Amino acid sequence: MRTGKFGLQVTAAVTGGLLAGAALAASPYTISQKDREFRPREIIIKRGETLRFVNDDGELLHHAYLSSDTFDFDTGDQQPGNQFDVVFSVAGDYTVLCGIHPKMKLGVHVTK
């Protein structure tokens, strides 16, 4: 799954040119979802870098999402063990929430 998803981004970058920043990004930064928390709770990345949302809980579902004027995503319900990559293509300061656990918050600061 990891290889397939990355491969998809590379293909899109080569063919479309729009996702070149994503293809050039460093290895994804892992955001763990465990015990109803995002770990870490804050992260600073550069525009075009990828966060990998992983459900590290044994039984709980998680559902990370972000809704803002400039950027949004939605992982859908994530089963334990599931991972979901998000390329942050727009600079800004964001708060990622979990649709299942309202107290879960992740600060993402995307620099240019």
Binding residues for Cu ion (CB under 5 A):
62, 98, 100-101, 104
**Residue (62 or 75) nearer to Cu ion, CB:** 62
C-alpha distances in Å from residue 77, one per residue of 5, 15, 87? 18, 30, 18
**Residue (22 or 86) nearer to Cu ion, CB:** 86
- Smallest gap from Cβ 68 to Cu ion, in A, equals 19
The residue ranges of DSSP E strands in 1-70, in sequence order, are 29-34, 37-39, 42-46, 50-55, 64-67
- Smallest gap from Cβ 63 to Cu ion, in A, equals 6
- Smallest gap from Cβ 54 to Cu ion, in A, equals 12
Which among 95, 89, 91 is positioned nearest to 67, based on CA atoms?
95
